[in-house]
A and B are shown apart, each in its own frame.
Chain A
């Protein structure tokens, strides 16, 4: 048996052991077991420790995954049963032993009455006992070893089974594809009426859903919609014209505050009409884009990024400063921001806002698509591909970059105004750096330069944390991890643009490491 592959299995097992220990240290084992219990339909009181059985389910998943990974460490070779079993066994055993060591240490300390929560806040006595399956220290550790090994072997077997059946699956899939091509799908594709029907369905959903799914989802989806607006705007700047802007929130804040200050009775008592204020906010944001862009657009890459980040922070600090307290209400924020009115009627229920946001999104998608496909869009594209070449071929790069910044800012202004109006309140804390980062993330997670990608990205970035609410304190932890995983699995975004990649990777060569290892590891 290959010694190296066993070492690899052991190493991957140790990684899994570390993961289990980490999850135990942050108390996730208890919370997740509780979630499993809730999903299985059993109730769980506050502060109650879930049943041990659910912990086994949780550990079982991890163990199977461990075995699976250990078995399939090299995709090129064909698997044999003894090889798979041995690898899975080794991985499971090493993970189990590591976890046992941890369990014995922690359990032993706990048994001696040491309260570890002073330093590791989640290690209460209850959770440690839970981790030891309510058994004695030695017994609990042994159960961990045994269960981990068993599950890893199961995982290995599953991997083996799936490997064998994969050929079959592939064959079936092509068969199904061929069949569907020949029959209905082939006919449907390219039929103009189909797209009308699809549009109709989308229309129906857009009209009906806000009325049916209740205030909470209207709120969440409204936020998603506003982030779609922001994403479309930033996409023009980052995705199309290739300028990295990290202070996008500045324009969002300018839109929101312009709207707030012109419609609120306090502090200026300018109770403007909703639509006028909305237009003014958009224009103000676009103008600020020009003003900010004029001096700084000569900068490139990360220099531009940090300068715009600085602008975002400057705006936020000024908004909450004592200096402008009488003008912006300082940290308290502006309240009583007006809602939309039309023909003397006011539309301020959550359903109305949802509709307004949907309209704004549709309008923006339409505009963004037109710009993207126009000659302006091609100029942007050329700038983002290579600015020097673009300039050399006669594109006025400065002008187009400025245009991109102000148009992108206008979207942010619209988003900000709708945001302020919907919440009827806005304060400096709504315009923190994290907004810029979230918007940038959604553009890239969705796929740079791709409009459907941005819509999808907004759902992921603003919808996912809401869905993860059940995880309470753990939601951002999981969210951060998912962000990393998403980027690794799909670096080009969830729904990449169809055009060639907008940005040239810095490092075109694929695997310099492979060369290096053969040439000689140490210098």
Chain B
């Protein structure tokens, strides 16, 4: 064994590694630029296509960002990956769906005397209640998730809550399937928010549709993110959350009820995931019990990309990931099937050169 150990000559000096890394980075960058110029020269896509791609990237990025904030909040406080977060979002999606279904079934007489469903008669109320319901259900499930699956593990080695979270994720996914059935469902939107219609822009000879649902999702996620930022930065609860994230013991000594703050963090992150879930339903329509899985993984990636534990980082990471996914294959001129390959490659590159994410604090290496 000792002989084997000596035979492995891997003791490159740190400096040369750094230089190699920089050279590799420059080479890669040059390659990407050359390739992109090449593709652009072919001018496969007109301005209309580029706009479409960017818009779709922004919309999906906004949703990633909302979910990513949930990961980041929990991570910032407990240093654990809440693997079941995607499932919390799934429950939120179902919550909003049932509100829409119920309102769609209620018939009311509108002011002009025609019969229409409550959903179309009062779309604002219906949408508000759908979000309220989705966020409440998701927040509650986040609360109970923490209470049942994570709280007993406070103080256990760091990977143990992760496994518990994976178990909870499997449980919730299958519970969703058994409760609501394996079939896919579709949001019935109020007419004002019909999917696929929107503002039409004429661009290089074709029509680009900025869908109402997409713009609605984007604006709403921006509002929620700003709201959350204010909550964390300006309120007492936010201050307590930051204190707990910094140092639980000292926070407790300062009179902060740590358990309560952790619970509330889960409630907030759940509510955001619920909102993302309802948005997901309104914008994309189709969903089933599995809806949380892929966005969950992507949002987690986004959170790490932006610097996990960092709220603006999650927002930046989400939007960045969405845009890379959407534009990346077109820029490089490769199959769209490989968009996740591009997304993950960018993640890896970013982390190699900025090991704590785009906006991550330099300290996080020590913290983790």
Contacts and interface: CB of A to CB of B under 8 A. Distances in A.
A318 interface: yes
A478 B300 CA distance: 26
Contacts of A102: none
19 contacts: A27-B178, A122-B181, A244-B159, A302-B368, A314-B340, A317-B340, A321-B338, A322-B337, A370-B1, A437-B166, A441-B163, A477-B170, A477-B171, A477-B178, A480-B173, A481-B167, A484-B168, A488-B149, A509-B248
Contacts of A318: 338, 341
Contacts of A321: 335, 337-338, 341
B252 A444 contact: no
Contacts of A117: 181
Interface stretch (B37-45, B119-127, B254-262): B254-262
A314 B343 CA distance: 9
A513 B167 contact: no
Contacts of B184: none
B132 to A, nearest CB: 19
A522 B249 contact: no
Contact of B1 (A314, A322, A375): A375
B310 interface: no
Contact of B163 (A307, A374, A440): A440
Contacts of A523: 236, 240, 255-257
Contacts of B156: 487, 491-492, 505
The 3 closest A-B CB pairs, nearest first, are A483-B167, A121-B181, A301-B368
A488 B168 CA distance: 12
Interface string A480-523: 11111011100110000000011101111110110111011111
B99 interface: no
Contact of B258 (A305, A309, A488, A512): A512
B355 interface: yes
Nearest to A123: B179
B109 interface: no
Given A299-B355, A300-B355, A482-B167, A375 B175 contact: no
B106 interface: no
Interface string B1-25: 1100100101100000000010010
Given A121-B180, A306-B304, A509 B249 contact: yes
A307 B308 CA distance: 13
B344 A313 contact: yes
Contacts of A513: 252, 257-259
A238 B159 contact: yes
B352 interface: yes
A81 interface: no
Interface in B242-294: 248-249, 251-253, 255-260
B335 A376 contact: no
Nearest to A121: B181
Contacts, number: 237
Contact of B158 (A306, A492, A505): A505
Contacts of A322: 335, 337
Contacts of A483: 163-164, 166-167, 170-171
Report which residue of A376, A477, A501 has the largest number of chain B beta carbons within 10 angstroms of its beta carbon.
A477
Contacts of A517: 257
Interface in A303-339: 303, 305-307, 309-311, 313-314, 317-318, 321-323
B191 interface: no
Given A488-B152, A488-B164, A515-B252, A121 B301 contact: no
A318 B174 CA distance: 29
B256 A444 contact: no
Interface stretch (A220-228, A251-259, A262-270, A396-404): A396-404
B79 interface: yes
A476 B259 contact: no
B101 interface: yes
A471 B300 CA distance: 32
Categorize the interface residue count of chain B.
35 or more
A505 B355 contact: no
A443 B348 CA distance: 25
B309 to A, nearest CB: 9
Contacts of B98: 119
A516 B257 contact: yes
Contacts of A487: 153, 156, 160-161, 163-164, 167
Given A300-B355, A314-B341, A479-B167, 15 more contacts: A121-B179, A298-B352, A300-B368, A306-B301, A307-B347, A403-B10, A444-B159, A476-B170, A480-B170, A483-B166, A487-B161, A509-B248, A513-B252, A513-B257, A516-B255
B257 A522 contact: yes
A370 B4 CA distance: 13
B46 to A, nearest CB: 25
Contacts of A510: 155
A408 to B, nearest CB: 15
Contacts of A169: none
A445 interface: yes
B209 interface: no
Contact of B8 (A399, A473, A482): A399
B365 interface: yes
Given A305-B81, A310-B347, A480 B337 contact: no
A323 B338 contact: yes
B200 interface: no
B348 to A, nearest CB: 5
B344 A296 contact: no
Nearest to A487: B164
A26 B175 CA distance: 7
Nearest to B309: A302
B160 A444 contact: yes
Contact of B337 (A122, A311, A317, A488): A317
B297 interface: yes
A456 interface: no
B167 A480 contact: yes
A448 B157 CA distance: 10
Interface string A14-49: 000000001001111000000000000000000000
Contacts of B177: 473
Contacts of B173: 476, 480
A445 B368 CA distance: 22
Nearest to B300: A306
Nearest to B251: A512
B326 interface: no
Report which residue of B158, B260, B300, B334 has the largest number of chain A beta carbons within 10 angstroms of its beta carbon.
B158
Contacts of A238: 159
Report which residue of A483, A487, A521 has the largest number of chain B beta carbons within 10 angstroms of its beta carbon.
A487
Interface in B302-333: 304, 308
Given A25-B179, A310-B347, A314-B344, A403 B335 contact: no
A310 B348 CA distance: 8
Nearest to B24: A295
Contacts of B344: 310-311, 313-314
Contacts of A120: 179-181
B351 A307 contact: yes
Contact of B297 (A22, A433, A520): A433
Contacts of B348: 295-296, 307, 310-311
